[in-house]
Amino acid sequence: MPANWPSRGARTPSSARRSPTSCGPISREKSLSRVLIVAGLAAVALTVSGFLNVSGAAPREYIVLQSTTSTQNSGLLDHLIPIFRNKTGIGVRVVAVGTGQALKNGRNGDGDVLLVHARAAEERFVAKGFGIERRDVMYNDFVVVGPAADPAGIRGASDVTAALAKIATRRIAFVSRGDESGTHMRERSLWAFTDIDPDGFSGGWYRETGSGMGATLNVAVGMGGYAITDRATWVGFRNKADFGILVAGDRRLFNPYGVILVNPLRHRHVNAVGGRAFIRWLTGPEGQAAIGSFRVDGIQLFHPAAAPQRSDGEHKKAGASERAF
């Protein structure tokens, strides 16, 4: 036995018997306090994390923009997005579909921002709590296009519904998108001003493609029929043959575009911070100038129409652009 080992009968002092890891009552209380503090901090972290997620304060590096085929196919978004990205560092991933599908996608939370063109449907979307405040962005117009021969005799008509009635009366082919897009919604609203229900002639002179604007125009050109299109898509359309714009200028052809943030309280993953940054930029001086400067073949396709930071009272003036159309 080593000399420094205690003898078998020797008593070891209590302080020496207690191991460094043993816990008396005071140590146990301290350990319990530490556990409670850590648990409390974790709870606070989870609460803050949840808040940031709802409010969008911890944004992704990009937003998902549900938009129309007209803004994409015209080249407008290819013009706007690089300017916004260079300004903010936020990327934009575009889903280009008809307005009806974009609104449906927004209801499902499949996007952060909507840029669409069916004001009544947009306002319903916001009223039902799916989106946060629709803002005016820009406008252009719809036009009726058709062949140079103009078999329905509508060229130069100032009343678009009278022109549609002539097409129907003479049973000349009319090609509709039939896809619940903003263009299709406007077309249906125009038929409602006539005494004609085109559904009763579906498959005859009234044809529905269920496709985008470009495909619908191709069918119209192939059939020698008529179609309603937004002007931006028409200017960029390269298969015009002898087709041209036959009816334009009726106030009912006014085509406003709105931007809406998808409600982050319904969908926690919505990038609200990035979405709001995009909306502020798009409706602010720089975004509006970028919209106004966009040209195709020297033609301005979209006209800025936003009124940034409007008060509730100023919202009543939102129709000023439409009245001037």
Please check whether residues 265 and 118 belong to one and the same domain: yes
Query: What is the distance between the alpha carbons of residues 300 and 291, in angstroms, rounded to a whole number?
Result: 9
Q: Element (H or E) spanning 277, and its range?
A: helix 272-283
**pLDDT tens, position by position, 292-325:** 999 999 999 999 999 855 544 444 444 445 444 5
Residue 174 one-letter amino acid? F
Please check whether residues 147 and 188 belong to one and the same domain: yes
pLDDT at site 74: 94
Pairing assessment for the beta strands 62-67 and 91-96 based on DSSP bridges: parallel
Pick the last residue of a domain from 196, 222, 253: 253
Query: What is the distance between the alpha carbons of residues 163 and 157, in angstroms, rounded to a whole number?
Result: 6
Note whether residue 278 is domain-resident.
yes
The answer to whether residues 113 and 264 touch, using CB atoms and an 8 Å cutoff, is: no
Pick the last residue of a domain from 253, 284, 315: 253
pLDDT at site 308: 55
Q: List the domain range (segments joined by +) for residue 167.
A: 141-253
The answer to whether residues 183 and 229 touch, using CB atoms and an 8 Å cutoff, is: yes
CB contact set of 213 (below 8 Å; sequence gap of 6+): 69, 70, 73, 177, 181, 183, 229, 230, 233
Residue 286 one-letter amino acid? E
Note whether residue 22 is domain-resident.
no
Please check whether residues 132 and 271 belong to one and the same domain: yes
Cα dihedral sign, 278-279-281-286: positive
**pLDDT tens, position by position, 131-141:** 999 999 999 99
The answer to whether residues 207 and 219 touch, using CB atoms and an 8 Å cutoff, is: yes
Please check whether residues 167 and 83 belong to one and the same domain: no
Give 142's DSSP letter. Answer: E
Query: What is the distance between the alpha carbons of residues 157 and 247, in angstroms, rounded to a whole number?
Result: 6
Note whether residue 70 is domain-resident.
yes
pLDDT at site 60: 77
Please check whether residues 109 and 131 belong to one and the same domain: yes
Total domains, the chain: 2
Please check whether residues 225 and 186 belong to one and the same domain: yes
Pick the last residue of a domain from 253, 287, 315: 253
Note whether residue 35 is domain-resident.
no
Up-side HSE of residue 142: CA atoms within 13 Å toward CB?
25
Please check whether residues 309 and 299 belong to one and the same domain: yes
Please check whether residues 181 and 282 belong to one and the same domain: no
Note whether residue 18 is domain-resident.
no
Residue 192 one-letter amino acid? A
Please check whether residues 163 and 292 belong to one and the same domain: no
Q: Which of 319, 323, 285 is nearest to 304 (CA)?
A: 285
Q: What are phi and psi of 45, to 5 degrees?
A: -60, -40
Please check whether residues 152 and 236 belong to one and the same domain: yes
> Three-state secondary structure along 99-141?
HHHHHHHHHCCCCCEEEECCHHHHHHHHHCCCEEEEEEEEEEE
Q: What is the pTM of this model?
A: 0.77
Query: What is the distance between the alpha carbons of residues 94 and 114, in angstroms, rounded to a whole number?
Result: 10
Note whether residue 34 is domain-resident.
no
205: domain CATH number is: 3.40.190.10
Please check whether residues 230 and 150 belong to one and the same domain: yes
Per-residue pLDDT of the chain (325 residues; tens, 9 = 90+): 444 434 444 444 444 444 444 444 444 454 545 544 444 444 434 333 443 444 444 457 999 999 999 999 999 999 999 999 999 999 999 999 999 999 999 999 999 999 999 999 999 999 999 999 999 999 999 999 999 999 999 999 999 999 999 999 999 999 999 999 999 999 999 999 998 999 999 999 999 999 999 999 999 999 999 999 999 999 999 999 999 999 999 999 999 999 999 999 999 999 999 999 999 999 999 999 999 999 999 999 999 999 855 544 444 444 445 444 5
Note whether residue 130 is domain-resident.
yes
Note whether residue 20 is domain-resident.
no
Please check whether residues 127 and 266 belong to one and the same domain: yes
Cβ neighbours of 88 (radius 10 Å): 14
